[in-house]
């Protein structure tokens, strides 16, 4: 009788299906490829040298450089006249309107007759009011009633008036010039009393009428209430009229007065 040979079969391998065996070979191949280092030829590198990635800082843009320069810029230098005028004002004190008017006149150091400015911080953006000042606030304003002659001047780009009044009949003719008149505050409208029902009523319009409104993006109001050379009592009465028109302390948080060239003086509006 011949000899019988016995073979042993690995049951773990035998039990693998064809799909499983394929997946196993695929994984082993991927593992081997991952262990290999990718070779890149770069001029100047010797065989076997490797490339190492290094994080580099991105240089700042021109806008960022400009902002940095602004932050590093030296603070604004004030002249001797301003410093001497500023020394007369106590920044921690809120002055009465009468004392503030006197102090603003004393601390104005311009060689010309500067304007008496009023700057207010109000509670909300979009606040507006119209007021007729009891006294003039500087030079006499030229008032013009819109007519066909006015249209001709606007067509040529000429504006030689400070206030423009118009009747409802003339408004359609002024609409094409809204882009010119609007930014200058010259476009007639009923809110500031420049839209009149009859030409004869133009004589009743006061040049001391003032339209007050906040800045577009901030609850701030800036206006002129007179000239530095103007009578102190007139200045005070003009400021009082503005404060009343805006609602007093119910709407105004803080107020400051100053000359065109001079330090600001904090007001006691209460």
End position of a domain, from candidates 181, 206, 231:
206
- Does one domain contain both 200 and 146? yes
Residue labelled with tokens 């064809």 = 18
Domain that holds residue 113: 89-138+208-270
Strands 209-213 and 265-266: unpaired
Q: Is residue 113 part of a domain?
A: yes
Establish if 160 belongs to a structural domain: yes
Q: Are residues 199 and 213 in the same domain?
A: no
**Do residues 177 and 156 make contact, with C-beta atoms less than 8 angstroms apart?**
no
Measured CA angle at 259 (ends 164, 82), to 5 deg: 145
Q: Compute the residue count for the chain.
A: 270
C-alpha–C-alpha distance, residues 161 and 205, integer Å = 15
Give how far the C-alpha of residue 238 lies from the chain's centroid of Cα atoms, to the nearest Å.
28
Cβ contacts of 42 within 8 Å, gap of 6 or more = 51
d(CA 153, CA 241): 35
Per-residue pLDDT tens, the chain, 270 aa: give them. 555 555 444 444 445 566 677 777 878 877 766 655 444 455 555 555 555 545 555 566 777 776 766 666 656 678 899 999 999 999 999 999 999 999 999 999 999 999 999 999 999 998 988 888 998 876 677 888 999 999 999 999 889 888 899 999 999 999 999 898 988 888 888 877 888 888 888 877 777 778 888 998 899 999 999 999 999 999 999 999 999 999 999 999 999 999 999 999 999 987
Specify the CATH number for the domain of residue 222: 3.30.190.20
Instruction: Confirm whether 53 is domain-assigned.
Output: no
């Amino acid at each position: 009788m011949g000899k019988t040979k016995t073979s042993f079969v690995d049951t773990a391998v035998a039990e693998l299906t064809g799909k499983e065996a394929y997946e196993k070979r695929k994984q082993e191949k991927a593992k081997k490829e991952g262990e290999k280092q990718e070779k890149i030829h770069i001029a100047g590198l010797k065989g076997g040298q490797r490339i190492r990635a290094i994080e580099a800082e991105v240089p700042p843009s021109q806008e960022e450089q400009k902002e940095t320069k602004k932050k590093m810029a030296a603070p604004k230098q004030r002249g001797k006249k301003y410093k001497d005028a500023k020394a007369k004002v106590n920044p921690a004190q809120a002055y009465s309107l009468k004392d503030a008017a006197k102090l603003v006149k004393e601390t104005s150091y311009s060689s010309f007759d500067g304007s008496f400015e009023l700057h207010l911080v109000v509670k909300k953006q979009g606040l507006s009011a119209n007021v007729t000042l009891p006294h003039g606030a500087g030079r006499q304003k030229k008032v013009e009633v819109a007519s066909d002659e006015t249209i001709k001047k606007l067509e040529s780009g000429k504006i030689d008036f400070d206030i423009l009044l118009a009747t409802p009949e003339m408004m359609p003719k002024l609409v094409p010039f809204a882009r010119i008149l609007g930014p200058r505050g010259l476009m007639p409208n009923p809110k500031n009393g420049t839209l009149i029902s009859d030409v004869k009523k133009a004589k009743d319009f006061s040049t001391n009428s003032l339209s007050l409104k906040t800045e577009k993006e901030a609850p701030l109001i800036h206006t002129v209430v007179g000239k530095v050379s103007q009578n102190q009592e007139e200045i005070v009465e003009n400021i009082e009229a503005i404060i009343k028109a805006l609602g007093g302390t119910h709407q105004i948080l803080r107020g400051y007065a100053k000359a065109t060239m001079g330090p600001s003086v904090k007001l006691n509006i209460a």
